[in-house]
Amino acid sequence: MKILVAIKRVVDANVKVRVKGDGTGVEVRVVQRATDTQQYRFYTVSRGDSLGAIAVKFYGNVDKYSAIFQANRNVLSSPNAIQVGQRLAIPDIAG
């Protein structure tokens, strides 16, 4: 069985998890920290995507690519290192 974990940023053990019906993966939907909760959406990278293009899709601003990069530091070595099929966490940010 192949298990995919989209993000691992847990300080508090209070995490909501959903197992896909076919048993192929796990998605973390809400990450609970000691003092705050952050909502994340997830995006699967397509051919021709860049973090800037993904930032425009979700935030309407290419400059917000760094928020996506920071949320995915555990799977990305640089903002240019995304790969087709990769699942990225998209943080819910203000502004």
Q: Where are the alpha helices (DSSP H) in 1-95?
A: 51-59, 65-71
Mean local confidence (pLDDT), 74-85: 93
Q: How far apart are CA 16 and CA 50, in angstroms?
A: 29
Range 16-91: architecture per CATH: Roll (3.10)
pTM: 0.60
Comparing C-alpha atoms, which of 26, 24, 43, 56 is closest to residue 82? 43
Amino acid identity at 86? Q
Q: Examine the pLDDT at 10 and tell me if it is beyond 50.
A: no
Q: 67 vs 5, which has greater pLDDT? A: 67
Quick: pLDDT tens for 21-79. Answer: 655 455 555 655 566 666 778 999 999 999 999 999 999 999 999 999 999 999 999 99
In this structure, the number of other CB atoms found within 10 A of the CB of residue 49 comes to 17
Would you state the pLDDT for residue 2? 42
Q: Are 43 and 54 in contact (CB under 8 A)?
A: yes
